[in-house]
């Protein structure tokens, strides 16, 4: 038995964990073990990567298979980390078409969660760039799925949280880039209304995202820093800069669990004030920043989840349809600020519809924030979830640890189709995680 949790370290559970070092054993485990799901590097936040009865550690499927520079299609086993892909191919001038906020995730995890990045509003999710995948089914078959082969199963596996089978390998597109630098322009929003306007005005940029101060009140409610980004060309770089800088992340670490009292309303407000004022001094400026600090700033601090102490934290990410987004986000921020449970890690950005049957994105605004777990947190999250449901929004399953079955069912309108497909392939009750059990899948 192994202690298992997501990156938020809430909930903490235990169960059998077996490592698959080849695709054959992974397929056999999928066909023979009840209540099973695959797990990568454990970077989903809640209970999505913990099997109901058994968990397959897929990090042993870590071999790259082939790369076609003409099409940009890279074929890899499902446990290959994104960090290894970037380290191998960025120096050759290739970068993934979509990346999440950490590079310490596996390809299988990115497909199962249909991860999105700062360019989702233009270039879609990671799943939109998957050409094919090999899927081990609970009846023992291994099936190649693509937009043209077993398309229904392919569409259900993109964002299907590993509940249609075990992803063994996949082919997906990389795009060409001239450098490993990003031209970043900082915009300052004094309140939520200005932030929403600036996100709309920067919607044609390849990358755009807002850090939002969730504890600001009154006229400053929702004040933000909007970071617009484009891949820098060779001509954008000062003389002497290397075109593809190596990663500089990982030099700092949180050595132990911080005391629970460290993150409170006062300390988070002080941090947010300093961060906002520092960013505001760069208003309108364009600078070139290395790829790792732009896409993966938190990867620079190893074990940063220990900042929240032994009780862990919950990341809550919702998306609200655009017509109601500003009002609902304002209401959420008011409640968080009043509660004092605010986060220094909060993000606001635009999303476009996702293509997977259970993909999280829809046309609207998404708000993601971390909150330390406490006895008083659940009632606050229930209030927020009610606002999301009333606005026809939904919560991101890869971040979720707390939503109710009713909240889940209200947000995912393709749920009946997903359940029917799981029944058809014999996955119901066989492919199962703690998340699927909690949500009644």
Write the pLDDT tens digit of every residue in 332-391: 999 988 887 667 778 999 999 999 999 999 999 999 999 889 888 999 999 999 999 999
**pLDDT for the residue numbered 342:** 62
**pLDDT for the residue numbered 249:** 61
**pLDDT for the residue numbered 250:** 60
3-state secondary structure of 169: strand
Residues of the chain below pLDDT 50: none
H helix or E strand, kind and range, residue 24 = helix 23-32
**pLDDT for the residue numbered 265:** 73
Q: Give the whole-angstrom CA distance, residue 111 versus residue 158.
A: 5
Q: What is residue 215's DSSP assignment?
A: T
The tokens describing 220, both together, are: 């400053």
Write the pLDDT tens digit of every residue in 93-107: 999 999 999 999 999
**pLDDT for the residue numbered 159:** 98
Q: Give the whole-angstrom CA distance, residue 138 versus residue 425.
A: 7
Write the pLDDT tens digit of every residue in 55-75: 999 999 999 999 999 999 999
**pTM to 2 decimals?**
0.96
**pLDDT for the residue numbered 155:** 98
3-state secondary structure of 199: helix
**pLDDT for the residue numbered 251:** 67
Q: Give the whole-angstrom CA distance, residue 208 versus residue 351.
A: 11
**pLDDT for the residue numbered 375:** 85
Q: Give the whole-angstrom CA distance, residue 151 versus residue 148.
A: 6
């Amino acid at each position: 038995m192994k202690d298992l949790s997501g990156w938020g370290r809430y909930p903490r559970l235990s169960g059998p964990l077996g490592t698959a070092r080849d695709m054959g054993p992974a397929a056999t485990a999928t066909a023979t073990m009840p209540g099973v799901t695959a797990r990568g590097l454990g970077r989903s936040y809640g209970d999505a990567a913990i099997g109901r009865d058994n968990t397959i550690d897929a990090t042993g499927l870590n071999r790259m298979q082939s790369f076609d520079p003409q099409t940009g299609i890279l074929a890899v086993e499902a446990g290959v980390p994104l960090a290894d892909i970037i380290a191998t191919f960025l120096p050759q001038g290739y970068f993934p078409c979509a990346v999440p906020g950490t590079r310490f995730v596996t390809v299988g995890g990115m497909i199962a969660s249909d991860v999105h990045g700062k360019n989702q509003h233009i270039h879609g999710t990671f799943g939109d760039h998957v050409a094919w995948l090999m899927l081990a089914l609970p009846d023992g078959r291994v099936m190649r799925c693509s937009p043209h082969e077993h398309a229904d199963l392919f569409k259900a596996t993109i964002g299907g949280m590993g509940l249609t089978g075990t992803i063994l390998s996949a082919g997906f597109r990389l795009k060409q880039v001239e450098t490993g630098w990003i031209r970043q322009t900082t915009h300052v929003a004094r309140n939520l209304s200005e932030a929403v306007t600036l996100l709309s005005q920067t919607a044609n940029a390849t990358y755009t995202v807002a850090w939002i101060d969730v504890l600001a009140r009154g006229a400053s409610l929702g004040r933000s820093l909007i970071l617009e980004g484009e891949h820098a060309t060779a001509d954008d770089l000062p003389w002497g800069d290397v075109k593809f800088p190596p990663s500089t992340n990982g030099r700092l670490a949180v050595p132990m669990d911080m005391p629970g009292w460290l993150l409170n309303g006062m300390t988070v407000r002080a941090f947010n004030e300093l961060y906002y004022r520092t960013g505001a001094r760069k208003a309108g400026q364009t600078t070139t920043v290395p790829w790792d600090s732009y896409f993966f700033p938190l990867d620079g601090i190893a074990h940063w989840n220990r900042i929240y102490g032994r009780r862990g934290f919950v990341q809550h990410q919702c998306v609200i349809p655009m017509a109601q987004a500003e009002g609902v986000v304002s209401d959420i921020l008011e409640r968080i600020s009043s509660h004092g449970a605010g986060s220094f890690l909060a993000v606001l950005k635009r999303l476009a519809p996702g293509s997977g049957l259970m993909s999280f994105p829809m046309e609207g605004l998404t708000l993601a924030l971390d909150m330390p777990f406490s006895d008083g947190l659940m009632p606050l999250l229930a209030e927020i979830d009610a606002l999301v449901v009333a606005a026809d929004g939904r919560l991101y399953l890869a971040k979720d640890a707390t939503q109710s079955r009713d909240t889940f069912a209200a947000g995912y309108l393709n749920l009946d189709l997903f359940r029917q497909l799981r029944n058809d392939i014999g996955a119901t009750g066989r492919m199962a995680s703690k998340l699927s059990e909690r949500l009644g899948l």
